[in-house]
Amino acid sequence: MNRWGLLMPDSQKTDLKTEEALRVLREIGSNPEMTQRELSSRLGLSLGKINFLVKALIDKGLIKAENFKNSKQKSAYLYFLTPRGLEEKTKATYHFLKRKMDEYEKLEAEIRQLKEEAGVSEITAEIRENAPL
């Protein structure tokens, strides 16, 4: 359920194992004054997606938002990682890194196998240039 008591489809639940949620936590951790618009631009995600992720992370108690007056005397928010948010960010980073390292090792093994099949020990510039797209 979301904060309004409505059930959310599985596709809309925010799972910290998603790269997007982790990227938001990392950006907020490094720059709490960043606006949602700046997060959107920096992460290459729509403003609506950022708004959804930020609200979900607040609902989960991983970040909190506080009002402040920015230099243009407009109301803005500071986003802070909560202690639980910091812990969850660390766990998510570990799992993300593990998944990426597993992917890398599989890719490396596939490249070795392809090199053997092609009878080359090193990929040269000539092979790269002449390879079909």
The answer to whether position 6 is within a domain reads no
Task: Output the domain CATH number for residue 20.
Answer: 1.10.10.10
Measured CA to CA in angstroms, residue 26 lies from 16, 19, 30, 32, 66 at distances of 12, 10, 6, 10, 18
Taking the whole predicted model, whether its pTM rises above 0.75 is answered as: no
Domain that holds residue 90: 14-119
The answer to whether position 96 is within a domain reads yes
Task: Name the domain count of the chain.
Answer: 1
Model confidence pLDDT, tens digit, residues 83-120:
999 999 999 999 999 999 999 999 999 999 998 998 88
The answer to whether position 38 is within a domain reads yes
